[in-house]
Structure 1
């Protein structure tokens, strides 16, 4: 046993147990276990309230796990590890006892990550050698925290929203409430703030079903951000796969963040809202070989990361490293983390960032990869909502449509097609039709996947907001400190004639209509819609399409709405109510395009502006910008739990993406027997009209009309 201390000495460690990994409190103290098979020794470092460090050697070792039980250590105690052993970065060995390491299985993390050479200067070259840095990183890195806080979930139950009824709302814990006038100042930006009735009420009134939170795993900021006085606001830079991010806690960081997170989940569940986490298992904050040593690198570098040439990290993520889920220990870590969040924290599912990176075999993406196989057979995870961002930055990483059931996937083909349609750059309407009906060309293969496997979105956290999408032709990212080099240039946006803010009433009216067009298209399409927080209220980021480092008013939701923003909010609520009330607008199966009985309506029919059904020439007309889609609510091949056929209203959706006004002839029998009632018109959102079958409907340029057939 080795100690470094200026205070009271802890007792020697008892043997303890090698499982479970992490810190496990009990009546006799806390058992610590960490996987580091190549380490010669591991020291447990305990910190008192004054920050004094006590070191206890974990003398027991079982199958590569160093472990020991320390009496008298309980809830709230801060700790870390120091690993002794081989230092040979040229061959992937990076153990350095001068570096304090987080516990990969820590349930909470306390303290700040500080920019200092002792953290980032850990590899120093001298001639042909790489010297071990002898500076102590402890003053500059956070500590793990022992958590022993039993939680009474009461009657909490998962809302278990069926996929076909799901509407995802992508939000940031901090940004959602930082400016919310109904949330007390001391709770803003926290889990407790999101759980506040004022915040929850907005979500309920809006009509979404599932809150998808940007990363809440403990994360830190990159070196270049800290050096520039900025932070990683989005949080895609994890160091704690089990720990709720301490920066979002209003109650404390010595384990209180765990209880506060659970309180938030319980409050959202009580309101009928699911909680889905955006999780980042594809890489960590340790970055490339010149990045900081924070946890995995100092314990078992080659056991957690994909390495090439024995030294360099395989970077499939653009962040310097890639977690190697072909390694049993790394795969077990990811699986243990996922189960923990479902079983112990009661979350309802996950959206996986760049998941192709961890769904690879030794090289290529594989549906039979260790990760996808493990998730698919897991009795807990296979029942959770699973959403893939189905690409990474490596060769063969783009895998939209390739994931097996029960996965859903972000469908960027939907995003690109809908943006191109409304900015006037689509190649006809053939692909538009696929996107409106659930993308059967992508998801309708032999796996019996359903339309809801397509997570449809027009905007996301990464890119322009909805308002900026119709206000800017190009990105404006100078505030990020990267000379406007960061962020995509493929925005597929249109500023409606003026770049950025304007007082021109015609431009403002067109932008408002374009916003309604995009929202209506999204929420009236088959599939699972995802709304980005604030789009329903016309939030702007001033043209910044990569606001990942903007923890300020650029990213925070502004709740001080003008008349136009309040109108857009009401319009979004109307769309979500229509979707909720009409199953024909959220089809659980792909359309057949055929009637259930002779002479009846088809479940799906397409029309030209002259009221006739689309023919081959129309489908392949690259200049076509108008389209009618009739959804036959009395022709759906659906039955309820009692076996009775489900019948709904029938709707006719008309789209005119051209710049000029047109007249659209309404089809007659059997599509409508008497006529049509206008449910909404994006060019005249407050006007209600009725038309007989066969009449012509005047449509403004760039507008969408939804009618109910009777």
Structure 2
């Protein structure tokens, strides 16, 4: 069901099961030609006896206008092919998108008819469990990089620049996880505030790359993936299948709403289910939604060679309407020859009923572990009553959530910070969020970040405050790199990136989120590189917690129940086979590696 050109002919096919008629709209500049399509079951088809590669097109559909019955047919609306691969322009917000009878042909992007796309030779993923994932906002990461040519900054191609590759090699990154690169639309409240979406978690159709990030289309993405793979670095795409940018009933008509509104989940009374907080929720009980999802995943594996995918609000994919651990999409991915070996990462929660499902995804999936993040932050903050036990559980692979991982790879993705929430530096500089720039009177974003300011709220020139924050940053990063499981570092946290306390910077496509490469804390960056070297040299990927490890006090004696519960306790663990390991000193604060001869540790500086 996609516009497909073959020699001397082109077929257009689109799903619109409840439409009374569909037009194919062909564009030559601003001149529109409409072609009546013919029903074929739930689809509408137009076969044209000409090769139309490069032609721009869209659809219009007619039928009842009865939103209360889930029928949104409005022939005035130009609709994007839900299976479009390339668009001629970005999406832009406009009130006409939601006005019945208002024509939107000048607003809505047009899809481009594709020829035969090159196929990337099949290859197993480079990334393996236990490795380091580096979360990247493509534009923010490269927009200010002084070594990248200005015309290339902010694009996917910039990730293949030698300066970026050198930085990734320095940190021993095993895979970059690209925040959404699919074409998105701003939330409708942002333009009046002079703001725009900086993260991309508001896509409209799932396969079309955003032309602002990827002006070279699939060839640019495939070339960048190949350049990264040549350095031993895999690519994971962060994809959004939980909702679309058509939003709630007050949102615009851009694609599915005007063609197949049944793709969205509805309550028995006909209202849109909003388990995402974004106004709508895709219905994975609908086979057509699953087919579109599977085809999207295959598309990026087959034509770009990506290692895998991270699924935003991933519980939605297993809802129909409630979460099901044996949801059909899991079995369908597992049975697919092209997808079954890919890296699959769930954000295991949404805001709907029973939406928190950490530890409930299939065994071959990894899961973002917010319990790791929160327990580690609470430990280093020194929360009353937090002994060493919860930290040891997190370091050892969160067996309370995922089960023992001494003989199988741990499924936990451990992270100190992510795109959503405080940066690592802001975790140590702000007790309260500072989101006023978002225009919502500081009501948005997480209210509890388990953060602390070390005596001064916000930036400080006090050397003692700076030293203390630096010590905690190093200790927390050390905790990350010694932990069992996959670890994730958000780009810039390795050198002290700050968002000035904004913990929901989705609407800040400006210097607040653009990484300032000239202001890097090189000492901290070098410390992270040393940690990465240690992790690779002494514990490999740390995908499994070593069975031969022992937990000891700082004087080398086995931990007792009293030691586990004692506030301020410090611990040592090493692998009995070679005597190496690491020490956690809460009073330091510090985390540092051990040599085989370090069987009893006096108080000393990290080696």
The two structures have a TM-score, normalised by structure 2, of 0.95
**Which of the pair is proportionally richer in strand?**
1
Task: Indicate yes or no: 2:587 matched with 1:628.
Answer: no
Task: Indicate yes or no: 2:530 matched with 1:587.
Answer: no
SS state at 2:340 partner: helix
Task: Indicate yes or no: 2:195 matched with 1:234.
Answer: no
What is the alpha-carbon distance in structure 2 between the residues aligned to residue 692 and residue 296 of structure 1? Answer: 63
Which residue of 1 is the match for residue 165 of structure 2?
A: 200
Shift of 1:607: 1.8
Shift of 1:693: 4.5
Instruction: Map 1:23-38; keep pairs closer than 5 Å.
Output: 23-38=3-18
Q: Which has the higher contact order (CA 8 A, sep 6+)?
A: 2
Shift of 1:692: 6.4
Which of the numbers 115, 118, 143 marks the counterpart of 1:151?
A: 118
Shift of 1:448: 9.5
Which residue of 2 is the match for residue 657 of structure 1?
A: 586
Which residue of 1 is the match for residue 559 of structure 2?
A: 614
Alignment length (residue pairs): 606
Shift of 1:158: 5.1
Cα displacement string for residues 3-28 of structure 1 (whole angstroms, at most 9, x for unaligned residues): xxxxxxxxxxxxxxxxxx11111112
Cα displacement string for residues 409-449 of structure 1 (whole angstroms, at most 9, x for unaligned residues): 0010100010011111162111111101111111116x998
Task: Indicate yes or no: 2:366 matched with 1:401.
Answer: no
Which residue of 1 is the match for residue 528 of structure 2?
A: 572
Task: Indicate yes or no: 2:273 matched with 1:314.
Answer: yes
Shift of 1:112: 3.8
Shift of 1:589: 2.9
What is the alpha-carbon distance in structure 2 between the residues aligned to residue 477 and residue 306 of structure 1? Answer: 31
Which residue of 2 is the match for residue 163 of structure 1?
A: 129
Over 3 Å counting, the alpha-carbon distance change for 1:25 and 1:448 in structure 2 is farther
Which of the numbers 256, 264, 269 marks the counterpart of 1:305?
A: 264
Which residue of 2 is the match for residue 12 of structure 1?
A: none
Shift of 1:652: 3.7
Alignment check: 8 A CA contact 1:440 1:590 kept? no
The two structures have a TM-score, normalised by structure 1, of 0.82
What is the alpha-carbon distance in structure 1 between the residues aligned to residue 112 and residue 62 of structure 2? Answer: 22
Shift of 1:363: 2.7
What is the alpha-carbon distance in structure 2 between the residues aligned to residue 183 and residue 143 of structure 1? Answer: 31
What is the alpha-carbon distance in structure 2 between the residues aligned to residue 71 and residue 231 of structure 1? Answer: 42
Cα displacement string for residues 659-684 of structure 1 (whole angstroms, at most 9, x for unaligned residues): 799xx9xxxxxxxxxxxxx758xxxx
Alignment check: 8 A CA contact 1:325 1:331 kept? yes
Which of the numbers 36, 40, 49 marks the counterpart of 1:57?
A: 36
Over 3 Å counting, the alpha-carbon distance change for 1:613 and 1:107 in structure 2 is same
Q: Which 4+ stretches in 1 moved above 4 angstroms?
A: 155-159, 689-695
- Runs of 5+ in structure 1 lacking a partner? 1-20, 123-132, 593-602, 635-648, 665-677, 681-688, 700-704
Deviates more, 1:522-531 or 1:190-199: 190-199
Over 3 Å counting, the alpha-carbon distance change for 1:152 and 1:317 in structure 2 is closer
Over 3 Å counting, the alpha-carbon distance change for 1:578 and 1:396 in structure 2 is same
Alignment check: 8 A CA contact 2:433 2:503 kept? yes
Which of the numbers 399, 410, 416 marks the counterpart of 1:452?
A: 410
Which residue of 2 is the match for residue 191 of structure 1?
A: 156
What is the alpha-carbon distance in structure 2 between the residues aligned to residue 371 and residue 314 of structure 1? Answer: 20
Which of the numbers 207, 212, 218 marks the counterpart of 1:258?
A: 218
What is the alpha-carbon distance in structure 2 between the residues aligned to residue 350 and residue 116 of structure 1? Answer: 31
Shift of 1:455: 0.3
Shift of 1:605: 1.3
- Runs of 5+ in structure 2 lacking a partner? none
Shift of 1:283: 0.4
Which residue of 2 is the match for residue 42 of structure 1?
A: 22
Task: Indicate yes or no: 2:357 matched with 1:386.
Answer: no
Cα displacement string for residues 33-65 of structure 1 (whole angstroms, at most 9, x for unaligned residues): 0011111111001111x2211111112x22211
Over 3 Å counting, the alpha-carbon distance change for 1:98 and 1:534 in structure 2 is same
What is the alpha-carbon distance in structure 2 between the residues aligned to residue 235 and residue 626 of structure 1? Answer: 43
Which of the numbers 587, 602, 607 marks the counterpart of 1:696?
A: 602
Over 3 Å counting, the alpha-carbon distance change for 1:626 and 1:586 in structure 2 is farther
Which residue of 1 is the match for residue 2 of structure 2?
A: 22
Alignment check: 8 A CA contact 1:464 1:544 kept? yes
What is the alpha-carbon distance in structure 1 between the residues aligned to residue 599 and residue 556 of structure 2? Answer: 10
What is the alpha-carbon distance in structure 2 between the residues aligned to residue 181 and residue 533 of structure 1? Answer: 17
What is the alpha-carbon distance in structure 2 between the residues aligned to residue 410 and residue 32 of structure 1? Answer: 39
Which of the numbers 411, 414, 428 marks the counterpart of 2:387?
A: 428
Shift of 1:633: 5.0
Which residue of 2 is the match for residue 176 of structure 1?
A: 141
Which residue of 2 is the match for residue 287 of structure 1?
A: 247
Over 3 Å counting, the alpha-carbon distance change for 1:449 and 1:100 in structure 2 is farther
What is the alpha-carbon distance in structure 2 between the residues aligned to residue 217 and residue 660 of structure 1? Answer: 41
What is the alpha-carbon distance in structure 2 between the residues aligned to residue 521 and residue 286 of structure 1? Answer: 41
Over 3 Å counting, the alpha-carbon distance change for 1:693 and 1:518 in structure 2 is closer
Backbone CA RMSD of aligned residues: 2.2
SS state at 1:25 partner: strand
Cα displacement string for residues 164-184 of structure 1 (whole angstroms, at most 9, x for unaligned residues): 3x2100001111110111110
What is the alpha-carbon distance in structure 2 between the residues aligned to residue 186 and residue 222 of structure 1? Answer: 27
What is the alpha-carbon distance in structure 2 between the residues aligned to residue 451 and residue 692 of structure 1? Answer: 28
What is the alpha-carbon distance in structure 2 between the residues aligned to residue 406 and residue 496 of structure 1? Answer: 40
Which residue of 1 is the match for residue 174 of structure 2?
A: 209
